[in-house]
Amino acid sequence: MTVPTEAYVALSAALFAIGAMGVLIRRSAILVFLSVELMLNAGNLALVAYARHWAGFDALAGLSGQTVVFIVLAVAAAEVAVGLGILVAIFRDRSSTDVDALSGVRL
């Protein structure tokens, strides 16, 4: 029995929501990154689910969905790399990863 596409999308939405809450609520920078990863992967899940859904109608659509997932994975990885690099630099200076303390760029 095939799992309906709606289930995947629902799961994706739930994961996205959990990730969003995590970004908003968590104070540790590492956990914010983790939540952002969760959001990105939720998006990936939605993309794959729709790719399989539309593959029945149009082969190209199915493939393009999966291709985008690869791109998103690559971007996520790059972003984490850069982000963690900045975080390490900040940590070296302040010995804390509390995002609330990082409000230097303001009016």
Partner 1 sequence: MTGAWSDPVAWAALAPLFALAGALLVGLFGRRWPEPLPGVVASLAIAAAFVVAAVASVGLLGRDAGVALTLWPFLPVAGLDVSVGVVVDPLAATFLLIITGVGLLIHVYSIDYMRDDDGNARYFALLNLFVASMLVLVLADSLVLLFVGWEGVGVCSYLLIGFWYRQRANADAGRKAFIVNRIGDAGFLLASFLVAATFGTLTIADANAQAGSFAFGAGVLTAIGLLFLLAAAGKSAQLPLHVWLPDAMAGPTPVSALIHAATMVTAGVYLVARLSPLYAQAPAASAAVAWVGALTALIAAVAALAQTDIKRILAYSTVSQLGFMFAAVGAGAYAAAVFHVFTHAFFKGLLFLAAGSVIHALHGEQDVRRMGGLGRRMRLTGSSALVGTLAIAGVPLLSGFFSKEAILGGVWNSTLVEDYGSRLLFALLLVTAGLTAFYMFRWYHRVFCGESRLARDVAAKVHESPGTMTAPLVVLAALAAVAGYLGLPAFAFPNWIKSWLAPSLASVGALHPPLWVEWLLVAASVVAAAAGLAAGWWIYERGRGALAERVGGGVMGRFARDGLGFDAAYRAGAVSTAEGLAAGLAVADRDLLDRGIAAGVTTASWLGRAVAAWQSGFVRLYALATLIGLTALAVVVAALGGRA
Please give the residue ranges that form the binding site for partner 1 (CB under 8 A). Answer: 20, 23-24, 99-100, 102-107
Residue pair 72/43 in contact by the 8 Å Cβ criterion: yes
Cα gap 60→80, rounded to integer Å? 30
Residue whose CB is less far from partner 1, 1 or 105 = 105
Residue whose CB is less far from partner 1, 31 or 66 = 31
We find the least distance from the C-beta atom of residue 97 to partner 1, in angstroms, to be 12
We find the least distance from the C-beta atom of residue 36 to partner 1, in angstroms, to be 10
Residue whose CB is less far from partner 1, 93 or 100 = 100
Going by C-alpha positions, the residue among 25, 55, 50, 51 that lies closest to residue 38 is 25
Give the C-alpha distances (Å, rounded to integers) separating 88 from 1, 31, 46, 99. Answer: 47, 14, 32, 13
We find the least distance from the C-beta atom of residue 105 to partner 1, in angstroms, to be 5
